[in-house]
Amino acid sequence: MTPHRLIALATLGSIALLGGAYAFQHLGGLHPCKMCLWQRWPHAAAIAIGLIAMATGQHKLAWLGLIAALITSGTGLYHAGVEQMWWEGPNSCTSGSTAGLSVDDLLQQILEAPVVRCDEIAWSLWGLSMAAWNAVLSFIVALFWFKAAIKS
């Protein structure tokens, strides 16, 4: 398989994982915790890297995509460990944007915001939480990035 196709598959993998996270949030009503949000940023970076690499033919960018995929996989593993109480996570674990809000609006948002804890499993399938699935599937995506990188 060519580096271009491998990069396309890796990019699609991050699109699917990030899209799934947003679907669980907006369609399934599962609000993300702080650590869930941390796992999204490397996927967004990997998507941008993949699109740039495919558009420019700079397949050496696959090394950066590999790093992004490994970061989100590692963060997912760390988060899964927090959920399983193997180690402690961050002290405060809530989400929400406060940009441009008045003091009254901010107070209202705080009072109405759901508190989402990083150490509680909101959803699981076959014994793996969303964070654990992200760790596993992102590692698979990282393998595509790695194969593209060594072929480029």
CB 51, CB 68: distance < 8 Å:
no
- Rounded to whole angstroms, the Cα distance separating 136 from 25 reads 20
* Terminal C-alpha separation, the chain: 11
Q: Which amino acid is at 130?
A: M
- Token readout for 95 is 């989400």
Q: Mind listing the pLDDT tens digit for each residue in 54-97?
A: 999 999 999 999 999 999 999 999 988 888 888 877 776 644 44
Least reliable range by pLDDT among 52-56, 95-99, 110-114: 95-99
What pLDDT is recorded for position 69? 96
If pLDDT is split at 50, 70 and 90, which confidence band does 109 have? low
Q: What is the pTM of this model?
A: 0.79
Out of 1.20.120, 1.10.1760, 1.20.1630, 1.20.1550, the CATH code matching 3-88+104-151 is 1.20.1550
- Token readout for 25 is 């949030």
Distances (CA, A) of 21 to 95, 109, 121: 14, 22, 14
Averaged over 103-112, what is the pLDDT? 69
SS3 138: helix
Beta bridge partners of 129: 124
CB 62, CB 145: distance < 8 Å:
yes
- What does DSSP assign to residue 128? E
Q: Mind listing the pLDDT tens digit for each residue in 8-40?
A: 999 999 999 999 999 988 888 888 888 888 899
* Residue spans per domain, the chain: 3-88+104-151
Average pLDDT, the chain: 85
CB 13, CB 141: distance < 8 Å:
yes
